Structure 1
């Protein structure tokens, strides 16, 4: 890590420390034991970072002083002492840099950004590959739900559209838990490509299909204010499972946000009111994500789009069944245990993506 980059990060940590110091003494925080414990833990971590930062600045001042002696002093003995001192200072700086980086990284891991701590909406859609893509949506759904179980997260299906033969054309999940869900799952957004021999393939040829995954942070109504007059609401009979009831009543809901033209459907609940609430939640997350991307484009931050068209040429990850390999193309990392990966053991890849992002 470059010194200027580290100093910037340390400055941010110091600012966070000062803000946390003010928050932690507020009566409403002290009275809420859960919030207080979280903030106290954060405060103690940031305190260590700030201590290292102050020491780092002292060492940089000392380095300037010895450099001045080495450049301007003519006394040989003095220069030798300065050289010895410089070596010690550089060792100290290197040690502080490593400690600071580890603390900053662990702090990000535990607390993350505000979005990182949020629950999420997960959307899976079939792309190129027809029925095989729909089957792969089902496989990836199984992979994620097994990962959710290992992580202690709970999910509900908001919307599901079955494929032609088996699998899903589209499925949307509402995912909640105590830990930073978005901070882990945000790396899953993009196109996932599969290479395998379909069950319907008589000549044993490997086919390539693709699906898209979108992970959206869930937002509250105070974060995204939706004007109800901007929403067009349609109701229809559910086509999903649920017995005779769903075919007799128009409980399914379709919402269209007129300004952004975003459309959301929900039909998993028997109550139209509950379907409306879930659809609003998804709509809010999609609008939030749209606005977030617009802001990033305005300040010229280079960023790939969350979800492309599902075209097999635009991919973030490939699942190659004949070679028992899953490859993430963003970090050029392959794991040769596809069966384990598809059984929800995806944390290793996520950790590598986190490490890459922080570096």
Structure 2
């Protein structure tokens, strides 16, 4: 590990030197690439530098203890020594985590697809609540949200909604949300006061750029039509809605949220690229079964990941057996405690897997 850290420190110093060269400053592409590499290396380099400082403190304190006879000074040196040793242990753990292989998609924006599952109208109403939960979470992190497609049920519920979240590190935080979300509560339509269980499926897909997925024109059929539903007079009286059909996969995308056909077409292609990219990622993950098992679920839509129990005011994440009695706060977008716990569990699993191999 320390040989690798020394190499990274050397590389970091090389980057700093290169960034001061006029030829690099005048080449914006090269400059931006180096700035990104510097930003990625900064946390691990800072931790390693602090680690080296702490090791030096331990050596100095031990040397001084061998020479010092004043009891008060000896106590101060012992305290300094113990603090440095404790920090060394913490930094070793931090550096191991920082050296874990990075998910290349972590910095990408995400496409979020929420579908009502079992439970009819109650599932659709909960799908709308889950959508608002993620929108509030995004707002709290100053990320931007934009609806790509929406299918409502007429009473405030969503049969399906697809939206984009744009913000640095969006995928790194939200990738653990894919799966089945279950709600247990008494629906407003239930006169007998019985608790019903309904489900919603969430899929988190990293946004794919055109360079990530190449779509052949001959594989696509584009249909335009009038938008339906709530959208205003302009939306409903022009052929602004777009439907894409991708022949090789059978994927059909329908977009009608914008007044412009061009904008709806652009949104539909963005969603199609993300779906195709996700399918490719799933193939890769299937071929890396051992690595996949070491992770907290980050993609299996059939996996039941979380229960929102209204009578008890609790949320339980089944993957890490975490239960929080803060249902209202979580549905209002206060997801950090859940997500931080999932990230920590995922890192611990990867570290354990790395130690075994």
- Identify the match of residue 180 of structure 1 among 169, 183, 203: 169
Asked whether the equivalents of residues 49 and 104 of structure 1 are also in contact (C-alpha less than 8 Å), the reply is: no
Please, what is the CA RMSD of the aligned residues?
Answer: 3.4
- Identify the match of residue 156 of structure 2 among 159, 162, 166: 166
- Identify the match of residue 288 of structure 1 among 277, 282, 288: 277
TM-superposed deviation, 1:254? 1.3
- Identify the match of residue 308 of structure 1 among 301, 324, 339: 301
**2:249 corresponds to 1:260:** yes
Cross-structure match for 2:226: 237
Asked whether the equivalents of residues 178 and 301 of structure 2 are also in contact (C-alpha less than 8 Å), the reply is: no
**CA deviation digits over 1:244-264, x for unaligned, max 9?**
222222211111221222222
Cross-structure match for 2:93: 101
How high is the TM-score relative to the length of structure 1? 0.77
Cross-structure match for 2:345: 356
Cross-structure match for 2:306: 317
Asked whether the equivalents of residues 21 and 43 of structure 1 are also in contact (C-alpha less than 8 Å), the reply is: no
User: SS at 1:306's partner residue?
Assistant: coil
TM-superposed deviation, 1:322? 0.1
After superposition, the Cα gap between the structure-2 partners of 1:158 and 1:18, relative to the gap in structure 1 and judged at 3 Å, is: farther
- Identify the match of residue 297 of structure 1 among 286, 295, 302: 286
User: SS at 1:244's partner residue?
Assistant: helix
TM-superposed deviation, 1:46? 3.1
Cross-structure match for 1:127: 117
Cross-structure match for 1:64: none
TM-superposed deviation, 1:54? 9.3
Cross-structure match for 1:192: 181
TM-superposed deviation, 1:235? 1.9
Asked whether the equivalents of residues 190 and 308 of structure 1 are also in contact (C-alpha less than 8 Å), the reply is: yes
After superposition, the Cα gap between the structure-2 partners of 1:212 and 1:146, relative to the gap in structure 1 and judged at 3 Å, is: same
Q: How far apart, CA to CA, are the structure 2 residues paired with 1:105 and 1:176?
A: 26
Q: How does 1:146-161 map to 2 (within 5 A)?
A: 146-161=136-151
TM-superposed deviation, 1:103? 3.6
Asked whether the equivalents of residues 203 and 301 of structure 2 are also in contact (C-alpha less than 8 Å), the reply is: no
Q: Greater shift after overlay, 29-38 or 273-282?
A: 29-38
Q: Any gaps of 5 or more consecutive residues in structure 1?
A: 1-6, 56-91
- Identify the match of residue 213 of structure 2 among 224, 227, 231: 224
Q: How far apart, CA to CA, are the structure 2 residues paired with 1:290 and 1:107?
A: 28
Cross-structure match for 2:195: 206
- Identify the match of residue 340 of structure 1 among 329, 341, 348: 329
Q: How far apart, CA to CA, are the structure 1 residues paired with 2:179 and 2:98?
A: 26
**CA deviation digits over 1:300-332, x for unaligned, max 9?**
3445572535xxxx4100000000000000000
After superposition, the Cα gap between the structure-2 partners of 1:355 and 1:22, relative to the gap in structure 1 and judged at 3 Å, is: same
Asked whether the equivalents of residues 240 and 268 of structure 1 are also in contact (C-alpha less than 8 Å), the reply is: no
Q: Greater shift after overlay, 214-223 or 25-34?
A: 25-34
TM-superposed deviation, 1:96? 4.4
**CA deviation digits over 1:99-145, x for unaligned, max 9?**
1222454687xx95331111111111100000000000111111111
Q: How does 1:12-161 map to 2 (within 5 A)?
A: 25=18, 30=25, 38-48=36-46, 96=88, 98-105=90-97, 113-161=103-151
Asked whether the equivalents of residues 326 and 336 of structure 1 are also in contact (C-alpha less than 8 Å), the reply is: yes
TM-superposed deviation, 1:49? 5.5
Q: How far apart, CA to CA, are the structure 1 residues paired with 2:338 and 2:6?
A: 31
After superposition, the Cα gap between the structure-2 partners of 1:48 and 1:282, relative to the gap in structure 1 and judged at 3 Å, is: same
**CA deviation digits over 1:52-105, x for unaligned, max 9?**
8999xxxxxxxxxxxxxxxxxxxxxxxxxxxxxxxxxxxx99964531222454
Aligned residue pairs total 314
User: SS at 1:264's partner residue?
Assistant: strand
- After superposing on structure 2, the runs of 4+ consecutive aligned residues of structure 1 that deviate more than 4 Å are 10-24, 26-38, 48-55, 92-97
